[in-house]
Amino acid sequence: MSATTTFVILSIIKSVAVIFVLLTAVAYSVWLERKVSARIQNRWGPTRVGPFGLLQPLADGIKFIFKEDLMLPHVYKPLYIAAPIIAVLFSITSIAVIPFGNSLDIPAFHIGSWTVGPISTPFQVAADSAGDINIGLLIILGITSMGVYGVALAGWASNSKYSLLGGLRASAQMVSYEIALGISLIPIMIKSESFSLRAIVDAQRHLQWNIVYVPFGTIAFFVYLISAYAETNRTPFDLPEAESELVAGYHTEYSAMKFAMFFMAEYANMVTVACLATLLFFGGWLGPVFGPSWLQILLPVFWFCLKVFFFMFLYVWVRWTLPRFRYDQLMAFGWKVLLPMAIANLVVTALYEALKA
């Protein structure tokens, strides 16, 4: 097979595999959320479908598909339909540039008369010939910043006051916290001297994780974590969909699969943000590696997934522990606390690194 054919086939296989894993992770993080919230509130959570309610996401999916898809008369149709698609599209796209591990190396093997391989491909959907993307972090920031459109347009196109208020809150909140989020990451870029996610992980070898890069990395991590919660509209920043004030916020007027798409987008965004936190602050796939060669390939991926799982759990834990902010508190916190903190951290880190060099 020529290099191009191999590349195309590998890319398709990797895309399908990663999207499958991502969507499964999304479905099961909903299950996780329900189970953990039940545990926190001294309830059982889903128990009926399958052992421990493990088939509940499947049942939910079937329910969403078979529910009536209401098309309301008062909505602005093109954007009403486009909004959930935009939301899901951008939330799933950003997973393409995230590296999960070193690289997958399979020696040549035979299927009948065909010789396959040797295959050597990085654990990453989109990568150039060197197995890397040198602006990976910027691409993720760009795609997540485009994700606002799904929420904002849903609120506007629904033509209902609750939706509009939810959409306005969401876009104002996401634009505000994006600045703090972006600036909080620059110290990490300065330290690693790269935008490439692989280079950033490689700079954290020998337990030099950025979270223990005291105090710059630690401050950056907490600013990032808080802004990431606001970016994904999770409690304590879930003002855009505050049940007690706005019914359901921007997706009030959506039903069936269109509603499920917003749901998927929210959880996929959570996974992306958790992946980014893992890569930037917790050493990505780095961890103890031992055993036979196949285990040495798979263990880094396992460590990566374990760290991402920790952040997903943290998300759920925080959601069911903290109450919601008031909207003016949210804005004041973003602009008057997080942003100055991120900028001060950036300036001090830049000075420190410049003097050290």
Partner 1 sequence: MLHLPVFLIFGLICVAGAINLLVQKHPINSALSLVVVMASLAVEYLLLGAEFVAAVQVIVYAGAVMVLFVFTIMLLNAGEEEHTKGSRVALLLGVPGIAIGGVLVSWTVLRHSNTAPVPIGALPGPPKDVALLLFHDFLLPFEITSVLILIAIMGAVVLASRPEAIVRRLRRGEPAQKAQKPEKRELAVVGKER
Q: List interacting residues with partner 1 (CB under 8 A).
A: 79, 134-135, 138-139, 141-143, 145-146, 148-149, 152-153, 155-156, 164, 167-168, 171-172, 174-175, 178, 182, 195
In angstroms, what CA-CA distances link 257 with 67, 79, 254, 351?
8, 16, 9, 51
Q: Which is nearer to partner 1, 173 or 210 (CB)?
A: 173
Shortest reach from residue 174's CB to partner 1, in Å: 8
Output b/e per residue, 318-351; b: 16+ Cβ within 10 A. Answer: ebeeeebbebeebbebbeeebbebbeebbeebee
Cβ atoms of 201 and 283 closer than 8 Å = yes
Shortest reach from residue 158's CB to partner 1, in Å: 11
Neighbours of 252 (CB within 10 A): 20
Q: Which of 153, 164, 171, 168 is nearest to 79 (CA)?
A: 153
Shortest reach from residue 127's CB to partner 1, in Å: 14
Residue 334, phi-psi category: left (phi > 0), alpha (psi -120 to 50), beta (remainder): alpha
CA gap 64, 57 in Å, rounded? 10
Q: Which is nearer to partner 1, 56 or 144 (CB)?
A: 144
Shortest reach from residue 355's CB to partner 1, in Å: 17
Shortest reach from residue 168's CB to partner 1, in Å: 6
Neighbours of 149 (CB within 10 A): 17
